[in-house]
Structure 1
């Protein structure tokens, strides 16, 4: 059996938790998280002596209803929420503590928090209702496909005639599980039924050669076409299609940032074993016009860059020459080294704009403020279960000042990111020194599944962790599990094993 196909019949139980064993960076988190923690009263700090109260409210994550009768505990002390969902927990030692919330009909939830010795700490909760009574559709299937997009959202541009920030680029992953029998020579193909010609909605290929990419229309910069066969992933655990040039527009012009790809699994004879659909999120909603005007924001950006940096971008454009930002500014997102002595693209953008978010009333009223550049008020890319629980961009990344400080302090953008383990315990963290999107399960009930299943296979990509607020995301769990949650049921992949907790 090739490693890209996972046969698990007879193995122990499968139950998805929060993330997948280990840690990514130092226990303090990224510089942005440290700065954010300081701004929020020292979350993530040391362990001063003494105790202080922990207070907060508990709500239903789906409805927002305040929940009474929920027990909050640090393992020694406990408190119960009132009719208004409020609680006050006393006696918890100052420093880092793991609190749990337990309510009838809800999943037990944990948070890693820092308790102050001088003032009450606020810890709010959003609980998910218990699940698991439905019949699992995969129980009657021989082949299961776990598929996902790696980042939860990819950014693109509508117009490349002035400059390029990022090219069209979307990446899909799949892991194939054969429940009852093993087939050889499996292939996985992908296609977008509503998005068959990206040239209808982007002029990227008219300028691609100037940006350094010798690619044919509807072929991405890594060589992946708009429809084709996925390749074995570098780790040998599944299949990947990297850099698909999909746009947020359907062929008929409909704005569709959450369009779906159809995956088709075939054996060596060409027999179709399974089909599945997976969202390929991409948006061009970079809101430059909020500050650079609606008439010609691209030209305004070039002119302001020239005035502030002594470049000749506007003149070059008038002469028919366009530039990619990554020619000068390094960009780890596309592996561009940039020029020595020039700030990375991420640092340049956050540093220069950190005091510009109140420049116009439109920018100032954009919520969250990150949506001034990241997709966006229409796209709503921050939609995962953490967002539904009330967490914001700033809780993980800090505000733009914290982002700038972290990057100036040496953080490598795209290569060093906030860690699940900063708020969840060690068994629900990334692998050591590894990003969430590349991490694998390490603490299953048996060792057989360790190092084989990606965290994102069960939980989905960052900013889009299941269960999300967008109905387009959970196509895989809906097809194989019968709900819109993360993959929690053993019987999605296993034929006859008892339900158990995945992360031990």
Structure 2
């Protein structure tokens, strides 16, 4: 007897192109949504817990919403003169955008970085970079493998088989930081997602970072590890459809425009062809960088974003229109993304090196305080040091969250250490006695 395999509505990669065409032709068939939401390989692969959020134009603002209402600040006593050490921590990126679903493509994986500096308090404070341990953990965000399917597709995308909850650099959601040789400690590639263990969406997870010696905690602080997968490609690509169809629409349009054959094959790492310094990929000769390709190709196509009431086109992707990426003192003063970075044509300049050719603090502030020093030559804010080797971000806050921030999570460290938000300006955070000399804000200040 001839047994035929029953027909299934569950789309595979090979059939996705046909299904996508059917969706385009019969654009109102939302009954397909439940089929697309299932595993498209007809296996038991884990799928992201959160479905693509429905666009709500009435919620649009210049900055998005900041998830402030549900946040409760951790309680920790302020420093006293008997505390021997202080630890300062920061994230080196304003908001880490990542994909939620990786079956079709990957723009960015889960990859967050934390930095910390440990200072021995005294009349002459000293930075401690050896003979101690610096550790971190993210309370209520202790696992990621059940929140995204990244680990299923890491072999296709990056050529590595990663254990559950282990990121691309070998770090996990809790562990030890390594001394960098630059007066600080770091943990890179932390695979955190914006979904807490209780299922709540939280773009600003608050990490605990502490220093210890011989099992005794010397100092503890808190720092935000910002992350979100809101990237709102579905404003234009397959509006109203679930994430996998949106990604397939992106690949189909790329195939049509550039004569590629991406749709229906293995999951696509965009940075494998388009160079991306953020991932350390060199790309292919003659192919534009990922930043140049994304910004220049979309710069003239943002009218649907403006039609929705958005006044800042950056928030179509960075990270999306509902959440604050820029949430610092500049935003509070009416200085927005374009004020420093320029418009999308500027960012998409093919001669610009992404993540390297960035605005500097000194480009504006030098005119206000000409005697001050700002970034070290050839370095960005997040890499620069001053005042005895203290990182700029240790005192001022993470990029795009420079204090006082409009999000309470980003102000926790400053409030714990000095009792108020803003840059660490109280000398007694590190100095047991307040110095009598004036603070000059020079790179070589002690």
Q: Normalised by the shorter chain, which TM-score bucket? A: 0.7 to 0.9
1:436 positional shift? 1.2
Deviation at residue 216 of structure 1 after TM alignment:
1.7
Tell me which residue corresponds to 2:327: 383
Deviation per CA, 1:415-435: give whole Å up to 9, x if none.
121111111115242111111
Match of 2:202 in 1: 256
Q: Post-superposition shift, 1:361? A: 5.5
Match of 2:249 in 1: 300
Cα contact 1:290–1:362 (8 A) shared by 2: no
Q: Which residue of 2 aligns with 1:466?
A: 403
Cα distance in structure 2, aligned partners of 1:213 and 1:456:
34
Deviation at 1:234, TM superposition (A): 3.8
Which whole-Å CA distance do the structure 2 matches of 1:144 and 1:138 have between them? 11
Task: Show the counterpart of 1:279.
Answer: 224
Kept in 2, the 8 Å contact 1:436–1:455? The answer is yes
2:360 equivalent to 1:415: no
Aligned 8 A contact 1:136 1:492 in 2: no
On the 8 A contact 1:190/1:262 being kept in 2, the answer is: yes
**What is the aligned partner in structure 2 of residue 74 from structure 1?**
none
Q: How does 1:193-208 map to 2 (within 5 A)?
A: 193-208=139-154
Q: 1:370 to 1:218 in 2, by over 3 A?
A: same
The answer on 1:220 being equivalent to 2:164 is no
How many residues align structurally? 352
Structure number having the greater strand percentage: 1
- Residue 350 of structure 1, aligned match among 295, 301, 306: 295
User: What SS is found at the alignment partner of 2:220?
Assistant: strand
CA distance in 2, matches of 1:156, 1:419: 25
Q: Report the Cα offset of residue 338 of structure 1.
A: 0.4
Higher relative contact order (CA 8 A, sep 6+): 1
Q: 1:362 deviation in Å?
A: 6.5
Q: Distance in 1 between matches of 2:80 and 2:87?
A: 10
CA distance 1:280–1:221, shift in 2 (3 Å): same
Report the CA distance shift for 1:494/1:436 in structure 2 as closer, same or farther (over 3 A). Answer: same
Displacement of 1:222 = 1.5
Q: Assess, with a 3 A threshold, how the Cα gap between structure 1 residues 299 and 362 changes in structure 2: closer, same or farther.
A: farther
Match status 1:244 vs 2:190: yes
Q: Is the 8 A contact 2:233 2:317 kept in 1?
A: yes
CA distance in 1, matches of 2:132, 2:159: 31
Partner of 2:120: 178
**Residue pair 1:276, 1:476 contacting (<8 A) in 2 also:** yes
Matched, 1:492 2:429: yes
Contact 2:90 2:115 survives alignment (8 Å) = yes
Structure 1 unaligned segments of length 5 or more: list them: 1-134
Q: TM-score by structure 1 length?
A: 0.67
2:420 is aligned with 1:483: yes
Give how far 1:244 is off.
0.4
Equivalent residue runs for 1:12-161 within 5 Å? 137-161=79-103
Q: 2:105 aligns with which of 149, 163, 167?
A: 163
Question: TM-score by structure 2 length?
Answer: 0.75
Over the residues paired in the alignment, what is the CA RMSD in angstroms?
Answer: 1.9
